[in-house]
Structures are given as C-alpha cells and as structure tokens.
Amino acid sequence: MTNLRIPAPPQRYDMPAPRRPLSGHEVFAALLTLAAALRITTMLGYRPARVYYGDSYAYLALAAHPKPSSGFQPSGYPFFLMLLRPFHSVTLVVGVQHALGLATGMLVYAALRRHGLPAWAASAAAVPQLFDASFLQLEHAVLSDALFIFLVVAAITVLMWSPGPTTRAGAAAGALLALAALTRTIALPLLLLVLAHLALRRIGWRPVLATAAAAALPIALYASWYASVYGRFTLAGGDGVALWARTMTFANCRRIRPPAEEARLCPAGARQDAAGEYVWAADSPINRFPGGPAAANEPARSFALRAIAAQPLDYAADVAGDVSLAFHWTPARHPKRVTPAFGFAKGRWPLPDLPDAKKALASYDADVGDYRSVEPYAGFLRAYQYPAYLRGPVLAAILALGALGARRRALLPWTVAAALLVLPVAVLDFDHRYVLPVVPIACMAAALAAADLRTGHRRGSLPQRALVGVIH
C-alpha cells in the first residue's frame, strides 16, 4: 500500500493589525473637534467680524495699498490680509484666523508628544489655547495677534523637535521668527534670545548661523523698503513714542534734566491712569510736539532712555506693577475706561461714521455691515466666556511650574513665555491682549517641567522612543 504524505499545514505568520489613523490621539482629536465647534459657534454668533477703529482699519488700508506701516507695528499682518484680499471677505479672514488658533493648539500637542509626554498631558497643555474664550475673541477680530501667536509657537516647536536643532530646523525657526517680528516687533528680542540659547547649548555654529541668516534676510529687506519710503532703516516708526509713554508714569524732569528739545516731552497735562494713554491724550506732550508724534519719535526715544537711566528703580517698579496685572483673579481694568477680557456682549455695533475708516473697509469687503450678535449662538458664548477664562493665579502657577524645570527641556519655552509677558509692558504698557501669546508657550514649559521633575529627565534630551518616529 502506497504511503500517502499529508502536507503540513502552511505556517502562519501573524501580521500586526493596521493602526488606526488616530490611534493614541483620540482624546486630543475629541478636544480639537469641540474647539472647532466653538469657533464655528463664534462665527455664527458674531457677524461678520470684529473690526476695531484704529488698528483694524489701518491694517485693511495697508492691505489695499501696500507700503511700510508708519505706525507702531510693521506691515506683516497687512501682507497676510493682502493674500486673502481677492476673496473680499473679512468673514474669511477671521475664519482663517480661527483655523490658525486650532493649528496652534495642534503644535503644542505635537511638540509635547514628540518629547514623550502621554496623550492626556499633552492634550491638557493645549486646552487653554483651544478653549479659552479670550482666544476665540482675538481670532474673531481683524487684528494681528492670532497670526503672531501661531508664528511664535511654530518657531519654538521647530526648535524643540530634535535634541539638537539641525541647520534646517534653525533656518525654519529663524524665518518664522522673522515673520513674527514683521507682524509685531516684540519678536525681535525673542530672536536674540533664541540665538543666545542655541549658542549656549554648544550644538555647533551651523544651526546658529542658519537661524540668524534666515531671520536677517526678510528683516533687512523690509527695513530697506522702510528706509526707501521714510528715510530710516528700521521696522516701525513708533518705538520711541511707545517707550516715552512708558516713562510718563514715573518721569521726573528735575532728576532727568533733559536738553531743551526733549524738555518739551516732560510730563504735562492731565495725569493718565495707564502709560499707553499718554500716546492718545489730546493734552499729552507728544501730541503738542511740533510736527506731532511722527516728528517726536527720535527725541522721545532719547528722553525715555534718559528717564530710565536717571530713575531705574522707578522704571522697574512701574513695569513690575503692570506685569502683576496679568495675575489678578478678576481681569484688571487697565486703563479704567475699558471693559477687560470679557468681550462677548449682546447688541449691534455700527461702523464708525468716518470717511477714512469706511473707505478702508469698503476697499477690502464692500458688502460688510454692522457688527452684531446673533442668537442663540451669542447667548451661549456670553455664558461660556466667564468660566472659560484662564484666571491670573492659574497663569502664575503655570509659569511657576515651568520655572521649576527651566534648567531642563522647559528652558527655551519658559524663557520665551517670560519675555513675552514682560517685554510689552517694558516698552509700552500692559494689555490683556499682550498676555495671550504667553499662554500656549507657558503651558508647553509647564508640561515639560512637570514631566522632568517626575522622571528626573536629563537636561536637553528627548525620550529614546521619540527619536524613532514623529508621534507614537
């Protein structure tokens, strides 16, 4: 009888099951969906977009007729508006800014996951950026802040992505910080801070040079353009006036002893309750200077530097006092004529009856009407804004936690956050708007510090598993 050989069954190889696209990121995906819904609600509840007299109209006018801005900030934001101008819609502008707000939250999450933090911790750090009602309001206005915050957070994320930033990463971060500086000049000191940080880390000269070169080129090109129009190689024309206003809260000309031309800028007229008010008050010395504030910028800067040199302790005390306003439980009224922080209200706000403002707005969006609240969406946002506000003591705790880890991975984001908190006050005044860029970066620093303090993480390194892929 013939022996029949029964073939052995084929060997089985267990193939790993394919990973779902959102595997490990479900918590953050849910939060991002809710944050997007909040932004859609904002666009439905307040139409078409918040346009502020002064800043917004100046931005829109520069978008229609590009040139270097002669005001306090460069023309970076008008360039952004110019890219969207073919659509002739301020509603689209704020829609894109809401998307930038979501993207900023995603950058916070991605950077922390890259450093090995669990999904819940990285998601928690992104919550203020995604859900604080102040960000909803800011993104819904024709203002430069949402763009500025995104650019700065993107630059910090690029620098933190690898243990030692590569030449390519340095160039990308430098370009992002240059764009941020062309949006708001307060980013210039941040660039110097980043270069110092890279140099002290001793990662080699190529990343440092790449960062500097990538930042210097757009800044130099813009400053050259500014010089061709106004005759001065700089980014903006109001830096001297701003710093002068900062000194008006303490300046004593008997101690400063300014020369005759600058003596015209000594405190006079009504006493203001905030440094920034001296720029706008009709009886302010800067507005009575021959030729007005534009002609006073150089002597104003010289006066301010003399005042700071003559009264350094008074200057430091005023800056510290105004910085402390960020840590109040109830948002401080500064100046007292404004209603701070809680900006969602019920009503209709007509466009200003001013020819220049109407012309600037019509040149961008001819169909725009009065800004108005729409129910029931606006009613929900009016209730939402009070609990959904990062209270000052909580921000203080976040910054304090980040400071505990500032000798490790949290050093760069914490230093940038602290600089963003202090510098606007040091060169002009406190404003709740100016505090918001601090929040996402401070939350990154706090999350990294907490992780380092818990694990005793070595300074400046990434977890081994984070080097294998981008995000697990």
Is the pLDDT at 472 greater than 80, yes or no?
no
Mean pLDDT of 202-230: 94
Mean pLDDT of 419-427: 97
pTM of the model: 0.91
Confidence of residue 338 (pLDDT cuts 50, 70, 90): confident
Would you say 190 and 182 are in contact if contact means Cβ atoms under 8 Å apart?
no
Please provide the DSSP assignment of 166-229 as one string.
-HHHHHHHHHHHHHHHHH-TTHHHHHHHHHHHHHHHT--HHHHHHHHHHHHHHHHHHHHHHHHH
The encoded tokens of residue 413 equal 């984001």
Confidence of residue 24 (pLDDT cuts 50, 70, 90): confident
Burial of residue 346 (CB within 10 Å: 0-12, 13-18, 19+) is exposed
Sequence-distant contacts of 462-466: CB under 8 A, at least 24 apart? 462/114, 462/115, 462/116, 462/162, 462/163, 463/115, 463/116, 465/116, 466/113, 466/114, 466/115, 466/116
Closest CA to 187 of 160, 140, 153: 153
Would you say 425 and 275 are in contact if contact means Cβ atoms under 8 Å apart?
no
pLDDT, averaged across the chain: 90
Closest CA to 422 of 414, 72, 304, 107: 414
Would you say 434 and 424 are in contact if contact means Cβ atoms under 8 Å apart?
yes
Predicted pLDDT at 359 = 86
Predicted pLDDT at 8 = 58
Predicted pLDDT at 465 = 41
At 257-296, the pLDDT tens digits run: 999 999 999 998 789 999 999 998 989 999 999 888 888 9
φ and ψ of 46, to 5 deg: -135, 110
Confidence of residue 358 (pLDDT cuts 50, 70, 90): confident
At 373-422, the pLDDT tens digits run: 999 999 999 999 999 999 999 999 999 999 998 788 999 999 999 999 99
At 53-75, the pLDDT tens digits run: 778 999 999 999 999 998 889 99
Predicted pLDDT at 470 = 37
Would you say 186 and 427 are in contact if contact means Cβ atoms under 8 Å apart?
yes
Name the residue with higher pLDDT: 351 or 149: 149
Q: What share of the chain is helix, strand, coil (3-state, %, to 5)?
A: 60, 0, 35
What would you report as the CA-atom Rg of the chain, rounded to the nearest whole angstrom? 25
Q: Which residue has the tokens 């009407």?
A: 369
Helix (H) or strand (E) holding 382: helix 377-384
Residues listed for the chain: 472
φ and ψ of 50, to 5 deg: -80, 120
Predicted pLDDT at 20 = 63
Confidence of residue 11 (pLDDT cuts 50, 70, 90): low
Domain spans of the chain?
A: 26-231+340-464, 239-317
Predicted pLDDT at 71 = 84
Q: Is 373 helix (H, G, I), strand (E, B) or coil?
A: strand
Confidence of residue 9 (pLDDT cuts 50, 70, 90): low
Name the residue with higher pLDDT: 13 or 274: 274
The encoded tokens of residue 49 equal 């977009």
Is the pLDDT at 6 greater than 60, yes or no?
no
Helix (H) or strand (E) holding 372: strand 371-373
The 3-state secondary structure of 9-59 reads: CCCCCCCCCCCCCCCCCHHHHHHHHHHHHHHHHHHHHEECCECCCCHHHHH
Predicted pLDDT at 471 = 36
Is the pLDDT at 468 greater than 60, yes or no?
no
Q: Which residue has the tokens 């953050």?
A: 28
Instruction: Kindly state the percentage of the chain with pLDDT values over 70.
Output: 91
Q: Is 154 helix (H, G, I), strand (E, B) or coil?
A: helix
Is the pLDDT at 14 greater than 80, yes or no?
no
Burial of residue 10 (CB within 10 Å: 0-12, 13-18, 19+) is exposed
Confidence of residue 469 (pLDDT cuts 50, 70, 90): very low
Confidence of residue 116 (pLDDT cuts 50, 70, 90): very high
Would you say 139 and 147 are in contact if contact means Cβ atoms under 8 Å apart?
no
Is the pLDDT at 336 greater than 90, yes or no?
no
Predicted pLDDT at 460 = 43
Mean pLDDT of 39-51: 96
Confidence of residue 5 (pLDDT cuts 50, 70, 90): low
Closest CA to 155 of 194, 123, 126, 117: 194
Confidence of residue 19 (pLDDT cuts 50, 70, 90): low
Predicted pLDDT at 70 = 84
